[in-house]
């Protein structure tokens, strides 16, 4: 059951709503708040500014797989490096700094004094929390350092557990950051609602401040929230949802988070959805933007190498358009690419005209690199 029940006229998947760009009434309450009109193109026929001016990409490897039950996703940072990541970035005239991989503890850390009792969730509520938490915390430190150095922070997971750290780390340096979260899943469970206990389904709820207790190993997040506060709900847009747990659905409906399901993409087209999302999270077009891109948002036909597959996702071009549109704002300052699992990937069976010979690897690894290129300003023309 989709989160949104839209009031706009019908549209095909590729086009704008029939009859032009009409007024929006309400889309599931939180989706339609305050939007008087789907924005028309700006600045000429395309509505887009020039390509972003290349700066420096700071790469943070985040080889964490403990937030879910499948191995292999921890191989992604190395796989994307080997597939041509640095060549791709430098080919787009960006400078490149590799900050290396965040450390992943192999032994259970000693619990912080007092990390028991009513103020903490029971350990079984968040699987592997005492190992995973410090690993995610080390990503927070690396991302904060790169963001404070005014770099475009590119974080490559690993599973989506890293999302709480990357958003917190960027916001520590750029407090007004707005977030575009691309995912088949909402990742808005908390330990009291999660059916699995896997933290990769909880990071957005954590940084939104929706946890009502602490989690052992994640004290760094408590410290961040106490000092900087959670990210504002109205500065977060979720796009591409199609597999949402009941507890998440209820919390999202009550929240100020802007939600665009695959039903919205089907009905309006990805162009109007992106315009609506950007207007909602940044109506004055002035905030730095963070893109958290889960590869499982894309239909498994195009991205087979991921662990939590769900039918009916974004197309190849829809995924690229999201990245291209954000790049063209010239305010995109950071990006996560997560849930690429090279162990589940398929080899490229056919080379096609126009493929970048600088990129190698399986179908999903290649697609991940291409999406990074689009987010850094690579365009068709």
**């590729």: which residue's tokens?**
14
Quick check: is 200 catalytic? yes
Rg (CA), the chain: 20
What are the E-state strand segments in 94-175?
Answer: 95-101, 152-157
Annotated active-site residue in 66, 324, 339, 370? 339
Annotated active-site residue in 101, 294, 299, 318? 294
Residues 6 or more apart whose Cβ sits within 8 Å of residue 88: 356, 358, 359, 369, 372, 373
Quick check: is 185 catalytic? yes
Quick check: is 296 catalytic? yes
Quick check: is 339 catalytic? yes
Identify the CA nearest to 156 among candidates 115, 199, 100, 96: 100
Q: CB neighbours (10 Å) of residue 131?
A: 17
Quick check: is 234 catalytic? no
347 near 61, Cβ under 8 Å? no
Identify the CA nearest to 128 among candidates 156, 107, 155: 107
Annotated active-site residue in 74, 159, 183, 324? 183
Cα 131 to Cα 135, 136, 137, 169, 215, distances in angstroms:
7, 9, 10, 20, 11
Annotated active-site residue in 200, 224, 258, 320? 200
Annotated active-site residue in 101, 159, 187, 318? 187
CA distance 353 to 355: 6
Annotated active-site residue in 66, 275, 296, 370? 296
Annotated active-site residue in 30, 99, 160, 206? 160
Quick check: is 101 catalytic? no
Quick check: is 212 catalytic? no
Quick check: is 264 catalytic? no
**Burial, 350: exposed, middle or buried (Cβ in 10 Å; 0-12, 13-18, 19+)?**
exposed
**């908390």: which residue's tokens?**
190
Catalytic residues: 160, 183, 185, 187, 200, 294, 296, 339
């Amino acid at each position: 059951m989709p989160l949104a029940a839209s009031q706009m006229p019908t549209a095909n998947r590729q086009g704008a709503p029939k009859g032009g760009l009409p007024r929006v009434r309400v889309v599931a309450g939180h989706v339609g708040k305050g939007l008087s009109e789907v924005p028309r193109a700006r600045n000429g026929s395309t509505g887009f500014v020039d390509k972003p001016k290349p700066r420096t990409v700071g790469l943070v490897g985040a080889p964490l797989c403990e937030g879910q039950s499948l191995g292999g996703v921890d191989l992604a940072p190395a796989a994307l490096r080997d597939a041509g990541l640095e060549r791709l970035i430098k080919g787009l005239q960006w400078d490149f700094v590799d900050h290396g991989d965040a450390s992943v503890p192999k032994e259970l850390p000693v619990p912080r004094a007092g990390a028991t009792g009513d103020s903490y969730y029971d350990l079984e509520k968040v699987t592997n929390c005492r190992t995973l938490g410090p690993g995610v915390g080390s990503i927070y430190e690396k991302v904060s350092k790169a963001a404070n150095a005014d770099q475009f922070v590119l974080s490559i997971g690993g599973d989506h557990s890293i999302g709480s750290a990357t958003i917190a780390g960027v916001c520590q340096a750029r407090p007004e950051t707005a977030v575009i979260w691309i995912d088949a899943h909402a990742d808005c469970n908390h330990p009291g609602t999660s059916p699995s206990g896997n933290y990769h389904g909880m990071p957005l709820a954590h940084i939104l401040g929706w946890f009502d207790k602490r989690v052992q190993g994640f004290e760094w997040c408590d410290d961040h929230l106490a000092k900087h506060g959670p990210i504002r709900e109205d500065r977060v847009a979720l796009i591409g949802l199609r597999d949402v747990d009941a507890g998440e659905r209820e919390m999202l409906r009550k929240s100020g988070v802007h939600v665009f399901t695959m039903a919205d993409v089907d009905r309006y087209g990805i162009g109007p959805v992106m315009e609506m999302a950007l207007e909602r999270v940044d109506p004055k077009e002035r905030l730095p933007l963070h893109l958290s891109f889960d590869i499982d948002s894309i239909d498994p036909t195009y991205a087979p190498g991921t662990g939590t597959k769900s039918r009916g996702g974004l197309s190849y071009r829809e995924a690229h358009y999201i990245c291209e549109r954000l790049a063209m704002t010239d305010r995109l300052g950071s990006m996560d690419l997560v849930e690429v699992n090279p162990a589940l990937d398929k080899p490229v069976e056919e080379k096609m005209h126009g493929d970048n010979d600088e990129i190698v690897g399986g179908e999903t690894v290649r697609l991940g690199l291409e999406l990074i290129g689009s987010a850094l300003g690579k365009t068709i023309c």
